[in-house]
Chains A and B, each alone.
Chain A
Amino acid sequence: MSDDGPRLLERAKAGDGQALEELLTPVLEVAFRLAMTMLNDREAAEDAVQDAAFKAWRKLDRVRPDAPLRPWFLAIVANECRSARRGRWWKVLRFPEVRSTGTMVNLEERIDLATALERLAPKHLLPLSLYYHLDLPIEEVARVLDCSEGAARVRIHRALAALRPAMAIEVDG
C-alpha cells in the first residue's frame, strides 16, 4: 500500500467509493488478467472483478493498514471466479463457434493446451495463473492461496501434472 494507502483505506471503509477506486486501481489490471485466465470470457471476467470489488468493499474492515492489498484482493477475485464456474454447466462452456482463440506457433499444441486449460479444475488453474501468467513471487502466490510457500509449490506441481497427465513431474514440496 502506498503512503496514501492508510488514509485511502480509512476513507473507503467510511463508504467513499472514490477512495476504494484509488486503492484498487493499481491492482485492477492484474486482477482482471487473473479473471480472464480463470474464466476465458471477457464479460464473465468483468462481472467477477466488479463483484469482487464490491465484496472487497464489504470486507475492508478486516484489512490492516500495513497489509499488502494485492494478494488479498486477488484472493477475492479468485473466489468470485470459482463461484462463476460453479452452478450452471452452460455458464462454464461457451458456444463452440465463439470460443476465443490465441496465437501460438504450433497450432496442434495450442489447441491441445488451450483445451486442457479449459478443462482444468479451478483449483489447478488458479496457481498456474498466479505463477506463470501474473508472475507473482511464490510468497504472494501462497498468500493468495492462503497456504504456506511449500504448499503453494506443491499445488503448482500438482496443477502441472493435472494439465499434462502424461508428464511425470516430481513434486519437490
Chain B
Amino acid sequence: MIPDDPELRRALDARSGEPSPEFRGGLHQALARGRPAANWIPAIAVATVIVLTVASVGVLLAARNLAHPPHGGLVSGARTASPTTSPTESPVVLPSQAYLSAPSRDIVWAFVDYRLLFRSQDSGQTWERRQLPLGVDTGRLVFTFADADNGWALLAISPATQCQAEGAQIWHTADGANTWRLITSVAAERAGGNGIRAEQCKEFISFVDKARGFVTAWDDNSPPTIYRTIDGGATWKSSRLPDPPGFQTATGGFTLRAQDVYRLGNVLLVTAYGMQESGGKGYVFKSIDGGAGWTYTAPIPSPAIAVAFVTESRWLQVILPGQSVETTDAGRSWHAYASDYGQAAPVSPQVVFGDASVGYATVRGSIQRTEDGGLHWKYIKTPGT
C-alpha cells in the first residue's frame, strides 16, 4: 500500500499553480506560427547522407587506385548541410534561453532558444546566424568557442539514473560553425570517448584556446570530474575536485557540480556548487598545472548567484542594484559593488567576460552588455528574436 500523506499533498499544492491566461494566449500564438524548424533536421540529415553517399561512391571510384590509410583516433567526420532556413521557422519569443561564450572582447557567440546559433564580431552589435552540428536535437547541447572560428559542441545523451552514466558527443568546427566534425563519442553503456568515460553526466565544455579544453561531469554519489585535453579534443585525461572545507560528498545528491573552466592569466578557475544538509554551497577551485590538479580557493558568498571571473583576482556576483558584490583578492574578502545591473527574473544570470572590460549577462534570453568591467549594463538585442 502506498500511504496517504495529506501534509505532502498540501506542500505540493503550495508549489503548484494554474496556467495564466497570458500563458495560454502565448502558447496559442506560438502554435499558430507553425511547427518548429527543428523538425526539418532529420530530413536534412537523411538527404545529406544520401548526397554524401552518392558523392562518396564517385570519389571512391575515382580514387580506387589510391590507398590512403584510415584516420586514427578520431571518430569519422560528419558535416553539416549548407545553411538552411525553414519556411515555417519563427522568431524566438522571450522569455527563452540564451547561452553565451565570449572568447574575446569583440567575439561573442550566443546559442538561443536551444536551437539557433549566432556569432558577433563586434561585441554584440550585429549578429550572424551560424550552423549547428547536424542531427543533434536529441540531447542537451552546450557550446564553447576559442575565437571566431574554432568552437566545440558537447551533446549529452540519455543520462542513467542518478547520472551514473551518460553518453556524449563532442563536435568541432574550425570555420566559424559553417561545418562541424564529430571528434569524440562516448556511449553510456561502455567505455570509450578517447579518454572520456561513460560514468557521470557530462555537463559543460569550455576551451581556453584552440588546443586546451575541459569537460565537466558529475553524478549524485561521487565528486565531480574535470576532463582536460591539450590537443583540441582528440584525447582526454581526467582529475576530480576534492571536497572543500565544510563540504562532504555523500550519496543521494550531496555532491558538487563543476561549471565552466576559465583561464585568467596562468591560472585556471572553476566554480562548483552542491547541496549539503545545511543548504546550497558554492566554491571556487584553482589549477596552476593546466587542470591536472585542482585546489580549493574560496567559498562563494551567495551560492544561488553565478560568479563572473573578470580577472584572476577580481570576481563579481551581479544580482540586482544594491545587492551586487565584488572581490578583488580572489575571494578572500567580498564587498558591496555599485553595479547598475538589474533584471526581472528571479534567477541568476549567466555572466561571461571577454576581457577585463567587456562582459555579457543573460537571463531567460535577454542579454545585457557592460563595457566598464561590470559597473554599467545596457540591454542589447537578443539575436533571433
Contacts and interface: CB of A to CB of B under 8 A. Distances in A.
Interface string A1-44: 00000000000000101101100000011001100110011111
Interface residues of A, number: 65
Contacts of A132: 5, 8-9, 12
A86 B163 CA distance: 11
Interface residues of B, number: 63
Contact of B24 (A28, A36, A90, A102): A28
Given A29-B19, A110-B11, A43 B364 contact: yes
B257 interface: yes
A53 B346 CA distance: 24
Chain A interface main SS type = helix
Contacts of A113: 7-8, 11
Contacts of A121: 162, 220, 252-253
B1 interface: yes
B310 to A, nearest CB: 18
A24 to B, nearest CB: 8
A143 interface: no
B282 A89 contact: yes
Given A88-B350, A93-B303, A95-B346, A123 B15 contact: no
Nearest to B163: A86
Given A37-B16, A102-B13, A157-B2, A57 B319 contact: no
Contact of A58 (B12, B39, B252, B306): B39
Given A36-B17, A132-B12, 17 more contacts: A17-B35, A29-B19, A32-B17, A36-B16, A41-B346, A45-B17, A47-B97, A58-B38, A88-B350, A89-B280, A90-B304, A91-B348, A95-B346, A103-B14, A133-B13, A153-B2, A163-B8
